[in-house]
Structure 1
Amino acid sequence: MVRFDMSEFGERHTVSRLVGAPPGYVGYGEAGQLTERVRRNPYSVVLFDEVEKAHPDVFNVLLQVLDDGRLTDGQGRTVDFRNTVVIMTSNLGSEFLASRGGSVGFVAQGDAGDSFGQHKALRDRVLGRLRESMRPEFLNRIDEIVLFRKLDQAQLRRIVRLMLSRTEGRLRSQGLGLSVSEGAIDWIAERGYDPEYGARPMRRVIQRELEDRIADLFVASDLQPGGHVSVAADGETLVVEAGQASMPLAA
């Protein structure tokens, strides 16, 4: 996969980073980041993350890719995009997804908010937001626009487990074990989810409530190589304790 964070392409001159600088400009002769990688591997998946943050001139480049399936780089070479899958992500309209009916937090299975009529109304509002920010000729070249619904409790728990497995791996490399109770996983999932920002704050919750406190155990010499960290929820508090007995991460 070829990935571009479009927040890095918010200035007009950054277009040259994608296709290469034209003759007479600084950087001429250097291959474009987009054109060169696709030229070398035309069967690629290209991801433009947060595409709405790109400069309007970048959209002009993408127009040609999406319409003609080709792009000319700064050295005059034509790059074929016809075998390339282009994916773009955007946060435009996310405020409508965050303000959907129902309580803040998890989405219950079978929630009435998932009915066809409400989903269509939500989609229309999000697409309206896209039309306000992007030109019609650009949107008309997109094959499909996919709306992602809010995460439900089971999905959030899976995200927590994935992040905790990375923490567990780092501890294991130091000869330490980690066990996390089901209640602690729910505790992290609830506090790491934000209706507007999704699960992005979860990494910070794990770092602040778990990893920083494990570091404190090291500093206090309560945790030694060969030891074990147990994590459990106690009401509004996450309890992190050092011990010797080893248990696997809760499944």
Structure 2
Amino acid sequence: MLLEAGANPLQTNGLGHTAQAYAKEGDVSTILQQWEGKFQEAQARREAEERRRFPLERRLKEHIIGQEGAINTVASAIRRKENGWYDEEHPLVFLFLGSSGIGKCHLSHPTHKKKLLFGFLKGFIRMDMSEFQEKHEVAKFIGSPPGYVGHEEGGQLTKLLKACPNAVVLFDEVDKAHPDVLTIMLQLFDEGRLTDGKGKTIECKDAMFIMTSNVASDDIAQHALQLRQEAEQVSRRKLADNLEDVQKSGDVTISRQFKESVIRPILKAHFRRDEFLGRINEIVYFLPFCHSELLQLVSKELSFWAKKAKQRHDITLQWDSPVLDLLAGGYNMHYGARSIKHEVERRVVNQLAAAYEQELLPKGCILRLSVQSEDQDERSTPSLRLEVVGEDSSSRTLDIRPPLSPEH
């Protein structure tokens, strides 16, 4: 009855034993053996149906703004793995290139609210490669050899891979690691195995390795901006002929010639070895955000603070569309989405905190953000103002006093 209702015959207890370990012979053992195969087939069918109904691209776009090219590249490689069209002797290896704060780590993380986005993977391991800048820190990676201090503790990576051999492994800021650490990765990326300090080999062919790097980020950003400008010019020309053929300014792809003539030499000069770059399945390029994506980022950040305001202080936060344009102007190409986050904190959250401290925000009130333009001086930048909205839809602008200077 349990098995027919969908119970998992492969379920393990606290000791890691399945039901089959306790039913060594007899009818129960036979039934369990028969249902193990049936359950695995049914589970594979359910997962395949889930992948058809909710493609990985769609699942990733729910959590990541922009970066369509990067999402499509990663999703295509994972689709091969999920559906059995892959070389089981070699793990998947990606190198994510682009400016800081542009979504490289966000796309690397396969979980959202404890739900795995990548079906065949069972865990997530993050290694910050800025901790491995010295030659002797290779021991931290794979463990100390016999006779050295800390030999029994094992390496940071080998210990985690042994516990979860089919995980997503993120090597963050790989360009900061010592070359000897990269040498260890050659075997890891090529054959999917790693020998620890004790001499034991750990198999991890089912893992997925992602490296992030800021190398050549300025070149990629400048090239993408140039492509966007060209796309906008094409759009303007097409606009006069046919409205339906207008190309979106965000849809730009890095040319093969640019990858080979500009990016490849920079990577080769930095990593100093072709065999390391040759083991990478896909080099994924992350481009600067276009204006429509910046508006989405600002809206997402404001929604985050609106949720906090409601939860902590019972204040409803609203805003007009010009507010999004004004805050999007704080975008810095070199700092990515973090510059938008800092701009919202600087121009909105600082005002909210000051108004709350001065007891200008009644509990349960509705606050509206709007843009206040300075009429007397055209050169002055527009500022944000906070308005308390009354029950009769009337609004009252808050007079937030500047903080006292130290000498006062």
Report the TM range for the smaller structure's normalisation. 0.7 to 0.9
- Alignment pair present for 1:120 and 2:243: no
Partner of 2:198: 75
User: Aligned match of 1:243 in 379, 385, 388?
Assistant: 388
SS in 1 for 2:126: strand
Name the CA distance, whole Å, in 1 between partners of 2:388 and 2:154: 55
Name the CA distance, whole Å, in 1 between partners of 2:227 and 2:319: 27
User: Aligned match of 1:21 in 139, 144, 153?
Assistant: 144
Deviation at residue 113 of structure 1 after TM alignment: 9.7
Aligned partners of 1:229 and 1:240 also within 8 Å: no
Aligned partners of 2:142 and 2:158 also within 8 Å: yes
Aligned partners of 2:193 and 2:201 also within 8 Å: yes
Name the CA distance, whole Å, in 2 between partners of 1:13 and 1:169: 47
- Alignment pair present for 1:182 and 2:321: yes
- 1:130 maps to a residue whose letter is L
- Cα 1:11–1:203, aligned 2, differ >3 Å: closer, same or farther? farther
Dislocated runs of 4+, deviation >6 Å = none
Normalising by the residue count of structure 1, what TM-score does the alignment of the two structures yield? 0.85
User: Aligned match of 2:270 in 117, 125, 133?
Assistant: 133
CA displacement, residues 87-115 of structure 1 (integer Å, 9 cap, x when unaligned): 1111111111232354999x85545994x
SS in 1 for 2:284: coil
User: Aligned match of 1:220 in 326, 339, 358?
Assistant: 358
- Cα 1:7–1:161, aligned 2, differ >3 Å: closer, same or farther? farther
Partner of 2:336: 198
Name the CA distance, whole Å, in 1 between partners of 2:335 and 2:250: 22
Alignment of 1:223-234 (within 5 A): 223-234=361-372
Deviation at residue 67 of structure 1 after TM alignment: 1.4
Partner of 2:127: 4
Which of 1 and 2 has greater Rg?
A: 2
Deviation at residue 130 of structure 1 after TM alignment: 0.7
- 2:270 maps to a residue whose letter is S
- 1:133 maps to a residue whose letter is H
- 1:122 maps to a residue whose letter is F
- Cα 1:172–1:9, aligned 2, differ >3 Å: closer, same or farther? farther
Q: Percent identity?
A: 33
Name the CA distance, whole Å, in 2 between partners of 1:221 and 1:103: 50
Partner of 2:80: none
Aligned partners of 2:372 and 2:385 also within 8 Å: no
Aligned partners of 1:214 and 1:240 also within 8 Å: no
- Cα 1:74–1:126, aligned 2, differ >3 Å: closer, same or farther? same
Alignment of 1:152-171 (within 5 A): 152-171=290-309
Aligned partners of 2:169 and 2:207 also within 8 Å: yes
Aligned partners of 2:126 and 2:170 also within 8 Å: yes
Deviation at residue 244 of structure 1 after TM alignment: 4.9
Aligned partners of 2:249 and 2:290 also within 8 Å: no
- Cα 1:233–1:4, aligned 2, differ >3 Å: closer, same or farther? farther
Aligned partners of 1:222 and 1:242 also within 8 Å: no
Normalising by the residue count of structure 2, what TM-score does the alignment of the two structures yield? 0.54
Q: Which structure 1 residue ranges, 5 or more long, are not aligned?
A: none
Alignment of 1:74-113 (within 5 A): 74-100=197-223, 101-102=225-226, 110-111=248-249
SS in 2 for 1:221: coil
CA displacement, residues 185-217 of structure 1 (integer Å, 9 cap, x when unaligned): 1222221x2233332311211111111111111
Q: Which structure 2 residue ranges, 5 or more long, are not aligned?
A: 1-123, 233-246, 374-380, 394-408
Name the CA distance, whole Å, in 1 between partners of 2:361 and 2:174: 45
RMSD of aligned residue pairs (Cα, Å): 2.8
Aligned partners of 1:97 and 1:122 also within 8 Å: no
